[in-house]
Chains A and B, each alone.
Chain A
């Protein structure tokens, strides 16, 4: 080989080696926006969306965290076979949504784009928070390099660094921005939830409920009747007008973008509660301004805050009024579907391959939802229904005595469920523990003041259960492999252990000293359960 050729070859090889090393480093230090403790899973939805088959989506949803908690495309699909995707992300700014949509529209041709008005009220300053732009730039795939560069240019102009080529190039080479990140905790760079969102289609399902002060909650109908404002005099008209002014140009661009791609665009507002907690998230002023904006742009607007969707903010929201959980999402999705079908005549064309795919994913989603529904169940009898249907081992303990409202019906159901022969109506002030599975008692103990079981189940599961009477907050314990899963509160406690997943999947306390039998969740089990559930779903999705 002549010297010249040798040199060219060695130069090329050297270059490739360098590029390879730099690329590897880049993957190492670029955050994956997948930090569980910061709840940033939602950006994975953007990556997953680009993996959907081309031109398979009929509708796309944009918006903020309220949106991705409220709209479940799979539920919509189950009712109507309409395929949609939830591309809402945390605190999504309208300009960021615009660029993201531009990117996704290279692969998809939806008939309808719905954007939630929660994101319309960011101030100009808030719009310019570069982190929110950068995370989208980094989450878009390389094929959307045009969007990446345009976004980077926008931020550069905002920061006054338009001539910093390195900064602009960091759109495509994020290493230039993150090269100092080797000092950050390693958790930030691991991928946690791999395919979690495929079958959820961008929807983030949650499974908790917390106490809400019912006196504060006004129904939507009541509010419309009395012409009540939603919330405060906290929002000043000038500030809101500034926000609208800042966001309107991009909403116009969004509208034009949709029309250019043959899609309709609609505004929506998902419900928030009227209590103190959710104050500031929506108001009559915001409603009016959004309606005016919608009229100006010629866009239809559905404000679900003023509609009666049958939301029970006690049990349908996981944070006391701002975001709904899966129960709430079902109701909202149903209403949205109705509206989309009526107002826009949205429907889906049957496509054998796609329908097969979605049907399978729907199946996987349904098996996930079973667990979610169990966790969300706050009605004692319905809870019993669900436990009966699954392959569970049930740990039942009584804490601080049952009190006066343990009914005959409840007793009968418990006997059927666990196979117990003991009448708990005798246990008003006594302690009781049972471990059962498939309608048969495995272990049972009772005592006047307290009782304990420490044993190992057939498949090697070591546990210790304690029940006590008294006045303290926590007088029951169910310790499995060193972790106590029992909830707090008085009444009858259930810890549900799934024999297939190999972990606890629910822990709930029903307060039998009150007539309502209020349910109280314990969420400690959720961390392990999520992991197991993901592995399980992952396994099933891979089989697709």
Chain B
């Protein structure tokens, strides 16, 4: 989790990823942020986040993102 938080902070330093639970729904992350995050996560964790995975549920909180990463890793 800490690793993930570090990556996320590197992309959007102004956002408190640990606290926020509605990153997409409340518009805290915009589409560019998402793309940057996706690219970073793809590179770092060697997964392939697909367009199909770009659901608000998967990115609303860091926990959700971690879950997505785990799921994709196991495929």
A and B touch in the complex (CB under 8 A): no
